[in-house]
Amino acid sequence: MEELEKLVEQMERGDISLEESLKSFERGIRLTRTCQQALQDAEQKVQILLEKNGQQTLEPFTDE
């Protein structure tokens, strides 16, 4: 995520060539896909942990 943020900042500054911008964009797309997959995996693990006896039981989140 940190690398993705750096790429975006660099591209927004506009101080790199078009070719470098395209390479950064491609890298950003790959990083985004990796982050999305990690999030989906985490959501799936949470879903599995919340299932009890074949029934979904949602519990309130407390930020304590």
Which pLDDT belongs to residue 23?
93
Q: What is the band of 35 on the pLDDT scale with cuts at 50, 70, 90?
A: very high
Read off the pLDDT band of 45 (50, 70, 90): confident
Q: Confidence class of residue 51 from pLDDT cuts 50, 70 and 90?
A: confident
pLDDT score at 44: 87
Q: Mean pLDDT, the chain, as a whole number?
A: 84
Q: Which residues of 46-58 are buried (b: 16+ CB within 10 A; e: fewer)?
A: eeeeeeeeeeeee
25 within 8 A of 11, measured Cβ to Cβ: yes
